[in-house]
Amino acid sequence: MSRRSAEAVDYTDSMVRAIVRRYPVDGVHFDYARYPNDRFDYSRFAIREFRGAVRAQLPEARRRALDAQEQDDLFAYPDALPDEWRAYRESRMTRLITRLQATVKRERAAALVSVAVVPDAREAERHRLQNWSAWAQAGLIDIVCPMAYTTDPSHFVDQITEARASAGERQMWAGIGSYRLSPMATVDNILTARRLGANGIVLFSYDNLTTSGQTRSDYLSLVGRAAFTPPASGPAGSR
């Protein structure tokens, strides 16, 4: 790992450690624990690290050929070894989550670790290099929060169903894109998520639902009354 990469990881870890050490948090949520897309990161630093990780494992003739090609083509190694390049980047993200989870648990053992994930675990791994189903199986995360931000009710069902299955024994808190939905559409998604086995609900995002001019001012009140208020008790003896 290059000095810059190591410094970035160390800094992130130190921020997480400071938070969980200083405040009695119930948990830590990691957003953007993924690559923007599978074309990232082709920086000189990332390619140099990859080259250092795989070069010694290659036959001598292959090394010489790639070294020569690299003189004119910065992308020689990742282009020639696409499977290894993908695995390398995916493993880097997994190592980061592993380290951050260990820091959280070491400082505050009862704190829960949650991660915002692409709902389809296969798509997450393939296009975002976010192998969250493996993280769940390995116990690196306590809660999976699929970003099911679709406005299509049937697609929402598919996303939550897939995420619930891939989460296995871990909790799954359904992420709902309320910023794109009416209050009652959000309520419908909450009820659907509960029916499909969601252990919790995450509405994205608070700013969008409370900032003046972006939506109706009573959005959260409407959703709260419709989806989170227990039904009133009936007269004594009623069923």
Residue 82: CATH number of its domain: 3.20.20.80
Does 188 fall in a domain? Answer: yes
Q: Under the phi-then-psi rule, with left for phi > 0, alpha for psi from -120 to 50, and beta for the rest, what region is 77?
A: alpha
Q: Say how many domains are in the chain.
A: 1
Q: Give me the pLDDT at residue 198, please.
A: 98
Q: Give me the pLDDT at residue 209, please.
A: 87
Give the Cα separation of 91 and 102 in Å (integer): 16
Nearest to 64 by CA among 55, 73, 53: 55
Q: Give me the pLDDT at residue 239, please.
A: 39
Tokens of 159: 């996303």
* Tens-level pLDDT at each residue, the chain (239 residues): 556 678 889 999 999 999 999 999 999 999 999 999 999 999 999 999 999 999 999 999 999 999 999 999 999 999 999 999 999 999 999 999 999 999 999 999 999 999 999 999 999 999 999 999 999 999 999 999 999 999 999 999 999 999 999 999 999 999 999 999 999 999 999 999 999 999 999 999 988 888 766 668 899 999 999 999 887 665 554 43
Distances in Å between the alpha carbon of 160 and those of 14, 18, 196, 226?
Answer: 33, 33, 7, 21
Give the Cα separation of 228 and 10 in Å (integer): 40
Q: Give me the pLDDT at residue 230, please.
A: 81
Does 239 fall in a domain? Answer: no
Q: Under the phi-then-psi rule, with left for phi > 0, alpha for psi from -120 to 50, and beta for the rest, what region is 181?
A: beta
Q: Give me the pLDDT at residue 108, please.
A: 97
Nearest to 185 by CA among 214, 138, 149: 149
Does 233 fall in a domain? Answer: no
pTM of this structure: 0.89
Nearest to 128 by CA among 32, 31, 38: 38
Does 133 fall in a domain? Answer: yes
Residues in the chain: 239
Contacts of 108 (CB under 8 A, 6+ apart): 20, 21, 24, 25
Residue-range definition of the domain harbouring residue 162 = 9-227
- The residue type at 174: A
